[in-house]
A and B are shown apart, each in its own frame.
Chain A
Amino acid sequence: MNIKELILNPDNFFKNLSYREVSLKTPFLIVLIFSVFMSIYTYYTTSIMFKIFPADMQSMMTISMIIAAVSALVGGFIAWLLVAGVMHLISMAFSGVGSFKRTFEFTGYGFIANLIGLCITIPIGYYFLSNAHIPTLTMANLQNPIIVKQIMSSIFPKTMVYTNLLVGIAVSLWNLGLWTYGIKYARNLELKKAFIVALIPTVLFGAYQLYSVAKFL
């Protein structure tokens, strides 16, 4: 796999790849690394956030952190499946031709943008979260959304949120570009149609990601 070509010339990358046999090995590896990183980052983030809970609730929070980490690990693959499935279904409307396996393969390469984006957001996140002062709240405080929001804003400062927002926008745009070329060659579509097919899951996936970040503002 030529990562440089995937980044700098995705059109050529997917074009060349379309002549080869379908192989899920590389995209699986990309999604796996992305999911593992995401899982670790999620575990770390939740472990910081859950410090606001009283000591007697910490054992329960540990389980929640593990669930969140596993969800992030599995979520990467589910997102891969969903994006591929949605694009394959939409491409049918544009008379796309090609196997789902190929769509699934090319969609997986698109997650290289998310992986690179994560390589930026994780250090920034670690920088802020490792320096955060987390007060332990009482149950009365936890029931008060104003307090919880204040604490969350304190844990996730605006700098981090804005940076993640920019990175998220960039990753979504990059996803759009990669998935446009990916679906184009996976389903033999015109560039314009491929763009429309890629736009819908990108908007949905990107909007969800951006919402996740923007809610801390």
Chain B
Amino acid sequence: MKKSFFIFLSIFSLFLILNTLNAVEFTSIDYKNQYLEPSKTYDLWVVITPEKEINNTIIGIYPYGESKDYIQIIKGKDSEGQLFPSEKGVGHFIIKIKDDAPSKDYKIVAYCNYTEDNKQYSENRIFTIPVRGKPILTIENPPTIKEGVNTIYLKITNEGTGIARNIKMQFNNDDNQIYALSDGYINYIKPGETRLMEIKIYASGDGVVKLPYKLTYSNPYDNLQLTDKTKTEQGDSNTITYNYKNQKIVEETGNLVFKVIPDNVIDLNVINYTYPVGEINNFTLSIKNNYKDSNFIITIGNYYLGNNQKNLFIKHGETKNVSFKIKVNDMGVKEIPVKIIFDGNEINKNISINVIGKVQLVLTGVNIEGITEKTITGDLSNIGTTKAKSVLVSIKRTKNIIPKRPYENYFVGTINADDYGSFELHCVINGNVSEIPIVITYRDEDNNLITINKEIEIDNGQLVLNNNYKGKGEGINYFVVGIGLLFCIGVIYLMYRGFARKKE
């Protein structure tokens, strides 16, 4: 009994194992590239090999997990019909990698539905699809260059999804009218990033010229792409050769197109290079036209208030000024991009200006005490935009004003912008003095010694005494004095009369 039961179990298990064995083997998945790139559409082949005869065979694919967000199935099902044992069935599919797909390995499920002995079966297998971003570089060059040597900046933008490294630009210098004096190089450009490549070129003549270039850069990954497939037959054996090209180093060629204009076609100068910070100023450019009578459109790119573009007609050989309102809130050397368009030409130039802080010292809270010996106390307030260093306040000695030690001068030190420093000065006043001259010295940001003279008014001369007695002013009213004199004479006469009579 035991033995027969064991035999039964063995046969049953073998039956189950035989039933679970795949009747279809997923032989391969092929997309003819080492990596797939975002925003591209690819053909995909899935090869199956059945162990047995299968019917109504349908091969399909669908994205798995995160792939659903980044892989679009354009054609995801292929019918193969009847397949005999060992006969390969190839399903052709079309997929698109979405634009925003990050570089990573995605999973895709390949399945096979078939019937065997009128029974429906389905088998599947997960494949990996490696997606890697690829850089796409675009080049923008300044449209106009002048005769002679130019240093220009090519604006190179990576519009792809992968980082570009070792970007080199070499030029074909066969043309005598234009040739490059240097090659360009940028170590990397990230996706979506724009960087400037400096090159020096020489141009001569007048007109539109082309400068052929070869741009090379490297992909971040090895990228083998199938270029061709060759099949050779040698007797009974067939040899298939696949040729792949490694697209890691990308090479592109093209032409930079420039319009060459005569050298010194215009002389562009700025009238004032120095501006106070935080104030509205006139930024005035002087333009001399060496070209021909033209209408000029001048545009500034930064720090402007109101209109940043002005039109100006300048005759040949004439110089005209054009002003813009600017306001710069930071100190230091600042660049203002200036674009001048005239007669289809464009000139771009950065004008450097020096934005400096300004010291403004004012006397506040000044108090004067004493009569002949004056004690002057007060504050020096910096209402400017930069600090005043080594501030020293002193009384200027004059004939009637003698500074008195130890406060003939007072060292205040550094007064930052929006700050103040107190001082005390002593002096002796002789005679009638209406104001006390004060000398303030300080060093500015560039250590220049600046001297300011100020006067502190004292009250002596401030009173208005306008007692004008009926137009007599400060003069003597002789009529009134005459009354007193008459009285005086009368008394003297009276005295004389009295004493004289006594003598008689």
A176–B499 alpha-carbon span in the complex (Å): 12
Q: How far is the CB of B134 from chain A (nearest CB, A)?
A: 85
Specify which chain B residues have a CB less than 8 angstroms from the CB of A133 in the assembled complex: 465-467
Interface positions of B from 333 to 375, Cβ below 8 Å from A: 368-369, 371
Q: Is there contact, CB below 8 Å, between A157 and B459?
A: no
| Residues 472-504 of B contacting A (Cβ, < 8 Å) | 472, 474, 476-477, 480-481, 483-485, 487-488, 490-492, 494-495, 497-499, 501-502
- Flag whether B432 is at the interface (Cβ < 8 A): yes
What's the minimum C-beta distance from B234 to chain A, rounded to whole angstroms? Answer: 123
Chain A contacts for B476, CB-based, 8 A: 158-159, 162
Q: Give the residues from 243 to 283 in chain B that come closer than 8 angstroms, CB to CB, to chain A.
A: none
B469 in contact (CB, < 8 A): yes
Indicate whether A105 reaches chain B with its CB closer than 8 angstroms: no
A163 located at the interface, meaning its Cβ lies under 8 Å from any Cβ of chain B in the complex: yes
Q: How far is the CA of A143 from the CA of B477 in the complex (A)?
A: 32
At the interface, yes or no: A79 with Cβ under 8 Å from chain B?
no
**What 0/1 readout, one digit per residue, does chain A (3-44) give for beta carbons within 8 Å of chain B?**
000011111000000000000000000000000000000000
User: When the two chains form their complex, are residues B488 and A166 in contact, meaning their CB atoms are under 8 A apart?
Assistant: yes
- The yes or no answer to A96 lying at the interface (CB within 8 A) is no
Given contacts A159-B472, A166-B487, A167-B488, is CB(A9)–CB(B501) below 8 Å?
yes
Q: Which residue of B lies closest to A9 (CB)?
A: B498
CB-based contact B460/A147 at 8 Å: yes
| A146 with B460: CB separation less than 8 A | yes
Q: Are B371 and A144 in contact (CB under 8 A)?
A: yes
Of the stretches A55-63, A69-77, A134-142, the one at the interface is A134-142
A117 to chain B, nearest CB (A): 7
Residues of A in contact (CB 8 Å), total 47
Instruction: Write the nearest CB–CB distance from B205 to chain A, whole angstroms.
Output: 83
Q: A9-B501, A166-B484, A170-B491 are in contact. Are A138 and B459 (CB under 8 A)?
A: yes
- Answer whether residue A154 sits at the interface, using C-beta atoms and an 8 A cutoff: yes
Q: Flag if B465 contacts A135 (CB, 8 Å).
A: yes
Interface of chain B: mostly helix, strand, loop or mixed: helix
Q: Are B464 and A162 in contact (CB under 8 A)?
A: no
Whole-angstrom distance between the alpha carbons of A173 and B499 in the complex? 12
Residue in A closest to B433 when the chains form the complex, CB atoms: A146
Q: Which residue of A lies closest to B502 (CB)?
A: A11
A49 shortest CB reach to chain B, Å: 13
Indicate whether A147 sits within 8 Å of B463 (C-beta atoms), given known contacts A10-B498, A11-B502, A173-B495. yes
* List of B residues within 8 angstroms of A167 by Cβ: 484, 487-488
A163 to B481, CA, bound (A): 5
* B40 lies within 8 A of chain A by Cβ: no
* Complex-state Cα separation, A137 to B415, whole angstroms: 36
Give chain A residues whose Cβ lies under 8 Å from the Cβ of B497: 8
* Distance from A13 Cβ to chain B, minimum over Cβ atoms (Å): 10
Contact (A128, B465) CB under 8 Å given A7-B494, A10-B498, A177-B494: no
Closest CB-CB distance, A182 to chain B, in whole Å? 12
Count of residues in B whose CB is under 8 Å from the partner chain: 34
B470 at interface, CB cutoff 8 A:
yes
The residues of B that contact A120 with a CB separation of less than 8 Å are 483-484, 487
A189 to B487, CA, bound (A): 29
A217 within 8 A of B: no
Report the minimum CB–CB distance from A98 to chain B (whole Å): 20
Neighbour of A135 across the interface among B368, B369, B463, B491, CB < 8 A? B463
Q: How far is the CB of A153 from chain B (nearest CB, A)?
A: 8
> Which residues of chain A in 104-151 are interfacial with respect to chain B, using CB atoms and an 8 Å cutoff?
113, 117, 120, 124, 127-128, 131-133, 135, 137-138, 140-141, 143-147, 150-151
Residues of B within 8 A of A87 (CB): none
Are A170 and B467 in contact, with the CB atoms below 8 A? no
When the two chains form the complex, which single residue of A113, A124, A191 contacts B483, counting CB atoms closer than 8 Å? A124
> Cβ of A144: which chain B residues have Cβ within 8 Å of it?
371, 459-460
B472 to chain A: closest CB distance in Å? 7
B502 lies within 8 A of A150 (CB) = no
List, in ascending order, chain B residues with CB within 8 A of A140's CB: 368-369, 459
- A159 to nearest B CB, angstroms? 4
- Which B436-481 residues have a C-beta within 8 angstroms of A? 459-460, 463-467, 469-470, 472, 474, 476-477, 480-481
Q: Which residue of B lies closest to A121 (CB)?
A: B484
Best-surrounded residue of A120, A157, A171, A173 (most CB of chain B within 10 A): A157
B484 lies within 8 A of A165 (CB): yes
Distance of B449 from chain A, by nearest CB (Å): 35
A45 at interface by CB-CB < 8 Å: no
With the chains together, A9 CA to B466 CA distance in Å? Answer: 47
**A164 CB-CB contact with B under 8 Å:** yes
Complex Cα distance A177/B497, Å?
A: 11
The answer to whether B494 touches A166, judged by C-beta atoms less than 8 angstroms apart, is no
Q: Which of A135, A137, A170 contacts B487 (CB 8 A)?
A: A170
A169 to B487, CA, bound (A): 10
Rounded to whole Å, the gap between the CB of A194 and the closest CB of chain B is 11
- CB contacts under 8 Å to B, within A166-191, are 166-167, 169-171, 173-174, 176-177, 181, 191
Residue from A127, A169, A170 within 8 A of B490 (CB atoms): A170
The distance in angstroms between the C-alpha atoms of A155 and B467, with both chains bound, is 8
Provide 9 A-B residue pairs closer than 8 Å at the C-beta atoms, listed in order of the A residue. Answer: A11-B501, A135-B463, A137-B463, A151-B465, A154-B465, A159-B469, A163-B480, A173-B488, A173-B495
B interface, CB within 8 angstroms of A: 368-369, 371, 432, 459-460, 463-467, 469-470, 472, 474, 476-477, 480-481, 483-485, 487-488, 490-492, 494-495, 497-499, 501-502
| A interface residues (Cβ-Cβ under 8 A, vs B) | 7-11, 113, 117, 120, 124, 127-128, 131-133, 135, 137-138, 140-141, 143-147, 150-151, 154-155, 157-160, 162-167, 169-171, 173-174, 176-177, 181, 191
Closest 3 CB pairs of A and B: A166-B484, A163-B484, A170-B491
- A-B contacts besides A141-B459, A164-B484, 19 pairs, CB < 8 Å: A7-B494, A120-B483, A120-B484, A127-B480, A138-B459, A140-B459, A146-B432, A146-B460, A147-B463, A157-B469, A162-B481, A167-B488, A170-B484, A170-B487, A174-B494, A176-B495, A177-B498, A177-B499, A181-B498
